[in-house]
């Protein structure tokens, strides 16, 4: 076992980890970034399209793990998409340098100010909306598609149909910004550049067009020459040493997931950015294994961000459907958040199947009525989730209401083909919370009871933020790192 000393270590290269890396490196502070997944850019390997799952399609699994149509066998490989299975919920996460940004739909949504205030009553809302959110959107390269292009492009028929149907049912729709470069997509459409969003690439990674973190925050951080990225470094657990430094037990793995080297990295300052599930697992497992001291609030106020998938089969199939070809990048949403009885936000999601499916897919984001909880089961050495149907019952009511109103106005039935009974209550893309800001940490992500340990990722958000979460995660990371660098790295 090799033992190595480092000054500052970040675990995980998603939104939190990438913001932390850039802001530290900019101040000339050398940083080591540990990522269990592959550095896809460096590897030169291609991401696979949804229709043809290859190396990038799943993290060390022998079958593909997309939410539906799982018919593909795979060779075990450190792919970019992982799925964590619990009794009542399946949680998808990204793996690789760039974390979730590699596999997500790129929807870059700033939350509603009122709801942000409700979730974070102690934060300076004005400063977030005048500074941290605009900063996050600028660095992430958020942009909006031109209406002209969306009107014209065959690949957005699914969105035009989705919006038309929503309007007919009396709903308000909104344009949703994205980090996919729409100027690039326009060129794709004209066949001037290689296609990605228009070639069915997204959930297993995009080879072009998407401004994932490796193209934004991490590229800038790398340019400072202060950043060392160690890929395929899986942190197993953490020990606190008597001098208050931290020792990380690490397996260096090959692309088959086999340990090829065992390492201990010792560091004075540790930033945990392994994502909601990753940071929770590391802290809770370390407590069980090494008596690592953790705050009693860890594991509390966890939620699925109100994720609920559903869909409609569309009776007008023979008169048009949603189009043979669909862009993988969503651009439209249905905003019903202000409704008192049935508040929700719906992503009009693409279903790029390469055939005219006449099915509409929706990812609903609902409020939470009841938080879930996360603990560690020593026997199975896995996280245990306190999450069941009682947490999603009101989301199902919203989905029923939504589908009924859409079907009444437009015709159609619940999409039984996509999900059992047409309801995907167990599909979660947005796990949040469990290490909540101001509860398990101070107001800036410093973990309670520790001097040099920080948590900077989705786990800081108390279970729900009302929209797709990465803009919020990025803005909160910017806010925390500004203070931490000023006070703790001076």
Rounded to a whole number of angstroms, the minimum distance from the CB of residue 193 to ligand FDA is 22
What does DSSP say about strands 307-313 and 413-414: parallel, antiparallel, or unpaired? antiparallel
Quote the least distance from Cβ 18 to ligand FDA, whole Å.
8
Count of residues in contact with ligand FDA, rule CB under 6 A? 39
SS (H, E, C) the chain: CEEEEEEEEEECCCHHHHHHHHHHHHCCCCEEEECCCCCHHHHCCCCCCCCCCCHHHCECCCECCCCCCCCCECCCCECCEEEEECCCCEEEEECCCCHHHHCCCCECCCCCHHHHHHHCCCCCHHHHHHHHHHHHHHHHCCECCCHHHHHHCHHHHHHHHHHHHHHHCCCCEEECCECECHHHHHHHHCCCCCCCHHHCCCCCCCCCCECCHHHCHHHHHHHCCCEEEECCEEEEEEEECCCCCEEEEEEEECCCCCEEEEEEEEEEEEEECCHHHHHHHHHHHHHHHHCCCCCCCCCEEEECCCEEEEEEECHHHHHCCCCCCCCCCCCEEEEECCCCCCCEEEEEECCCCCCCCCEEEEEEEECCCCCEEEEEECCCCEEEEECCHHHHHHHHHHHHHHHHHHHHHHCCEECCCCCHHHEECCEECCCEEECCCCCCECCCCEECCCCCEEECCHHHCCCCCCCCCHHHHHHHHHHHHHHHHHHHCC
In this chain, which of 177, 200, 458, 463 binds ligand FDA, going by CB under 6 A?
Answer: 458
Shortest distance in whole angstroms from residue 427 CB to ligand FDA: 10
Given 25, 107, 349, 415, the residue binding ligand FDA (CB under 6 A): 107
Sole window of 271-279, 289-297, 391-399, 400-408 interacting with ligand FDA (rule: CB under 6 A): 271-279
The catalytic site residues sit at 347, 430
- Per rule CB under 6 A, is residue 468 in the interface with ligand FDA? yes
Q: Which of the residues 6 through 25 are near ligand FDA (CB under 6 A)? A: 11-16
- Using the rule CB under 6 A, is 352 a contact of ligand FDA? no
Report the 10 Å Cβ neighbour count for 407. 18
Give the separation between CA 362 and CA 173, rounded to whole angstroms.
13
Residue 179 is a binding residue for ligand FDA (CB under 6 A): no
Q: Which stretch binds ligand FDA (CB under 6 A): 130-138, 139-147, 274-282, 353-361?
A: 274-282
Q: How far is CA 392 from the centre of its chain?
A: 20
Q: Is 253 in the site for ligand FDA (CB under 6 A)?
A: no
**99 touching ligand FDA, by CB under 6 A:** yes
- Least distance between ligand FDA and beta carbon 95 (Å): 4
**Binding range to ligand FDA, per CB under 6 A, among 21-29, 103-111, 115-123, 373-381:** 103-111
- Closest Cα to residue 272, out of 484, 453, 147, 31? 453
Identified binder of ligand FDA from the candidate list 23, 470, 475, 479, rule CB under 6 A: 470
Q: Does 105 bind ligand FDA (CB under 6 A)?
A: yes
**Stretch 185-204 residues interacting with ligand FDA (CB under 6 A):** 203
CA distance linking residue 59 with residue 93, whole number of Å: 10
CB of 177 to ligand FDA, least distance (A): 10
Q: Which stretch binds ligand FDA (CB under 6 A): 38-46, 94-102, 331-339, 390-398?
A: 94-102
In this complex, which beta carbon is closest to ligand FDA, that of residue 276 or of residue 410? 276
Q: Does residue 424 belong to the site contacting ligand FDA (CB under 6 A)?
A: no
Q: Which of 93, 161, 218, 351 forms a contact with ligand FDA (CB under 6 A)?
A: 93
235 binds ligand FDA, rule: CB under 6 A: yes
By CB under 6 A, tell whether 271 contacts ligand FDA. no
Tell which one of 35, 139, 181, 426 touches ligand FDA (CB under 6 A). Answer: 35
Q: Write the burial class of residue 356 (CB in 10 Å: 0-12 exposed, 13-18 middle, 19+ buried).
A: middle
Choose which of 157, 430, 446, 450 interacts with ligand FDA (CB under 6 A): 430
Residue ranges in 380-399 that form contacts with ligand FDA under rule CB under 6 A: none
Please report how close the Cβ of residue 52 comes to ligand FDA at its closest, in angstroms: 17
Judged by CB under 6 A, does residue 38 bind ligand FDA?
no
Q: Nearer Cβ to ligand FDA, position 400 or 438? A: 438
Q: Compare residues 36 and 198 and give the one whose CB is closer to ligand FDA.
A: 36
The residue from 48, 64, 78, 104 that contacts ligand FDA (CB under 6 A) is 104
Residue with smaller CB distance to ligand FDA, 61 or 407:
61
Rg, C-alpha atoms of the chain: 22
d(CA 120, CA 122): 6
Q: Cα(first)–Cα(last) distance of the chain, in Å?
A: 33
Which listed range, 1-9, 45-53, 287-295, 465-473, lies at the site for ligand FDA (CB under 6 A)? 465-473
Least gap, CB of 9 to ligand FDA (angstroms): 10
- Which residues contribute to the site for ligand FDA (CB under 6 A)? 11-16, 34-37, 92-96, 99-100, 103-107, 203, 234-235, 273-276, 278, 282, 429-430, 457-458, 468-470, 473
């Amino acid at each position: 076992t090799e033992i190595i000393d480092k000054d500052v270590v970040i675990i995980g290269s998603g939104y939190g980890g990438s913001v932390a890396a850039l802001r530290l490196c900019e101040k000339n502070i050398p940083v080591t970034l540990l990522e269990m997944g592959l550095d896809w850019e460096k590897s030169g390997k291609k991401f696979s399209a949804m229709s043809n799952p290859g190396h990038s399609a799943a993290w060390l699994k022998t079958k593909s793990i997309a939410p539906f149509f799982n018919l593909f066998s795979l060779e075990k490989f450190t792919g970019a998409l992982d799925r964590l299975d619990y009794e009542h919920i399946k949680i998808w996460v990204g793996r690789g340098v760039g974390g979730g940004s590699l596999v997500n739909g790129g929807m870059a949504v700033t939350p509603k100010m009122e709801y942000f205030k409700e979730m974070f009553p102690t934060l300076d809302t004005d400063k977030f909306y005048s500074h941290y959110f605009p900063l996050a959107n600028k660095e992430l390269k958020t942009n909006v598609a031109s209406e002209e292009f969306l009107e014209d492009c065959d690949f957005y028929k699914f969105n035009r149909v989705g919006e038309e149907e929503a309007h007919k049912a009396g709903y308000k729709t909104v344009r949703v910004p994205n980090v996919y470069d729409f100027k690039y997509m326009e060129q794709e459409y004209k066949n001037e550049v290689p296609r990605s969003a228009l070639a069915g690439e997204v959930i297993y990674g995009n080879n072009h067009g998407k401004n994932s973190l490796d193209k934004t925050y991490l590229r800038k951080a790398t340019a400072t020459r202060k950043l060392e990225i160690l890929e395929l470094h899986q942190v197993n657990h953490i020990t606190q040493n008597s001098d208050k430094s931290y020792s990380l037990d690490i397996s260096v793995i090959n692309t088959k997931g086999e340990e090829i080297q065992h390492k201990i990295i010792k560091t004075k300052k540790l930033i945990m950015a392994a994502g909601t599930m990753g940071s929770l697992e590391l802290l809770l497992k370390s407590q069980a294994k090494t008596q690592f001291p953790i705050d009693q609030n860890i594991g509390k106020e966890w939620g699925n961000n109100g994720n609920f998938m559903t869909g409609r089969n569309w009776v007008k199939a023979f008169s048009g459907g949603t189009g043979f070809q669909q862009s993988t990048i969503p651009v439209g949403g249905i905003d019903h958040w202000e409704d008192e009885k049935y508040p929700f936000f719906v992503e009009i999601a693409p279903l790029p199947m390469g055939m005219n499916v006449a099915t509409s897919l929706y990812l609903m984001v609902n409020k939470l009525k009841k938080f879930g909880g996360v603990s560690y089961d020593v026997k199975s050495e896995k996280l245990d989730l306190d999450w069941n149907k009682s947490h999603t019952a009101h989301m199902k009511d919203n989905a029923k209401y939504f589908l009924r109103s859409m079907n009444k106005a437009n015709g159609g039935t619940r999409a039984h083909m996509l999900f059992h009974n047409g309801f995907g209550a167990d599909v979660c893309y947005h796990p949040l919370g469990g290490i909540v800001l101001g509860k398990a940490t101070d107001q800036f992500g410093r973990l309670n009871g520790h001097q040099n340990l920080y948590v900077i990722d989705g786990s800081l958000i108390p279970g729900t933020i009302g929209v797709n979460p990465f803009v919020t995660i990025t803005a909160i990371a910017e806010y925390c790192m500004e203070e931490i660098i000023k006070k703790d790295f001076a």
